[in-house]
């Protein structure tokens, strides 16, 4: 499940991407307009800044701006930064693998097999979706309210 932290990070990045032409956005404005608790958002934005996604300016006219183009910010990086491994079980993780204590035979474990497939599909989608794509999805739905679901390439 996507954590609130990751969801808020994505929402903040989308907001900043939609406001590329504006001066740095203060945390309070992002918090108010995106309905994200300010203290929580401060931590998230700091993490995003430290990871190179954002630039921050201090002072009266301070705030945050994107440090990368929206099409360069890929969801897999943001989700991993906020939530850690993509895999839902440790035995299916590419970078944080460890075997399950209760598993008798990993080679024949049907749970692992299913979650390896889930991880691969989720990874494929997250690796091929940018903040720019997210904005495009929103505009697609805004212009055609009949669309309840969108397909990710």
**Distance set, CA 28 to CA 19, 125, 147 (Å):** 15, 32, 33
Distance, CA of 99 to chain centre: 27
Structural domain spans, the chain: 4-66, 74-129
On the CB side of 33, CA atoms within 13 Å amount to 14
- Please write the tens of the pLDDT for every residue from 80-135: 999 988 877 777 777 777 677 777 777 778 888 888 899 899 999 999 999 999 99
Q: Which two tokens stand for residue 137?
A: 């999805």
Q: What pLDDT score was predicted for residue 147?
A: 47
For the CA atoms of 97, 100, 106, 109, the dihedral, rounded to the nearest 10 degrees, stands at -120
Structure tokens at 88: 């839902």
| Residue 151: per-residue pLDDT | 52
Q: Does domain 4-66 have CATH number 3.10.20.440?
A: no
Mean pLDDT on 4-12? 97
> Which token pair is 51?
């990871």
Helix/strand/coil percentages in the chain, nearest 5: 55, 5, 35
Condensed to tens digits (0 to 9), the pLDDT of residues 120-138 reads: 999 999 999 999 999 998 8
- Token pair belonging to 128: 């091929």
The tokens 């390439």 sit on which residue?
A: 153
User: What does the alpha-carbon distance between residue 119 and residue 131 come to, in Å, rounded to a whole number?
Assistant: 21
Tokens of 36: 């994200």
Count of residues in the chain: 153
């Amino acid at each position: 499940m996507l954590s609130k932290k990751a969801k808020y990070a994505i929402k903040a990045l989308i907001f900043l991407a939609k406001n590329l032409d504006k001066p740095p956005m203060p945390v309070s404005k992002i918090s108010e307009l995106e309905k994200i608790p300010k203290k929580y958002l401060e931590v998230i934005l700091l993490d995003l800044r430290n990871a190179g996604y954002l630039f921050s300016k201090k002072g009266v006219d301070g705030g945050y701006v994107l440090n990368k183009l929206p099409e360069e910010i890929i969801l897999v990086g943001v989700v991993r930064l906020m939530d850690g491994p993509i895999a839902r079980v440790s035995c299916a993780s590419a970078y944080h693998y460890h075997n399950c204590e209760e598993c008798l035979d990993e080679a024949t474990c049907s749970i692992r097999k299913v979650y390896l497939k889930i991880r691969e599909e989720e990874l494929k989608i997250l690796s091929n979706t940018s903040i720019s794509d997210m904005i495009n999805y929103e505009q697609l739905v805004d212009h055609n309210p009949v669309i309840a679901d969108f397909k990710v390439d």
